Amino acid sequence: MHKPMGLAAAVLMITSCCALAQEPQFIVLDEPTAGVDPKARRDFWNEIHALAAEGLTVLVSTHYMDEAERCHEIAYIAYGHLLARGTVEEVIAHSQLTTFTVTGDDLQHLGEKLQGGPGVDMVAPFGASLHVSGRDKAALEATIAPWRNKAGLKWQLSAPSLEDVFIELMNRSKDNFH
């Protein structure tokens, strides 16, 4: 069983890596905050940013999109192919995703009805709302049109989240190992 890492152990790990390399210019951290509590995670990222401010290049692999948002630049790589690269804002902008956030009654049923419809690349619950996204804006708008004025639902055009972009990129990726 994986035991959560304390902040002291995480900072010690980074410091030890840097000390071993004697003023490295580059460090790779593979999912460094897995199992770390939220406060320690924030402190850990503060340490990573402090090292970066001193000129150290830090490459972090993570599957947590909120952690990816903390990075100066991100890259999505799947099955050996670079899918996207840039700042968070650039990657989201280049995704060409249109996303609507809907709140209201019976979102589970609505999600089931919209999933797989023309222009709908994904439907995902986010707390008390639903993200409905697609790359073909006209087709997406036509599919959701019958639901836009339904009583009990509130629709809003919103920016796609980094997670929306990641899922959409992964859905289009082909596993070249099978």
Query: Per CATH, which fold does 7-72 belong to?
Result: Rossmann fold (3.40.50)
Looking at residue 20, its pLDDT comes to 53
- Asked whether residue 15 carries a pLDDT value surpassing 90, the answer given is no
How far apart CA 74 and CA 129 sit, in angstroms, is 27
Share of the chain above pLDDT 90, in %: 53
In this prediction, residues 88-112 reach a mean pLDDT of: 94
DSSP letters for 119-176 = T--EEEEETTEEEEEES-HHHHHHHHHHHHT-TTEEEEEEPPPHHHHHHHHHHH---T
Looking at residue 176, its pLDDT comes to 63
For the chain, the domains span 7-72, 96-172
In this prediction, residues 32-47 reach a mean pLDDT of: 88
Arch. (CATH architecture) of 96-172: 2-Layer Sandwich (3.30)
**pLDDT tens digits for 107-141?**
999 999 999 999 999 999 988 999 999 999 999 99
Q: How many CA atoms lie within 13 A of 80 on its CB side?
A: 3
How far apart CA 146 and CA 82 sit, in angstroms, is 38
- Asked whether residue 19 carries a pLDDT value surpassing 60, the answer given is no
Q: Is the dihedral of CA 48, 52, 58, 60 positive or negative?
A: positive
More confident residue, 7 or 105: 105
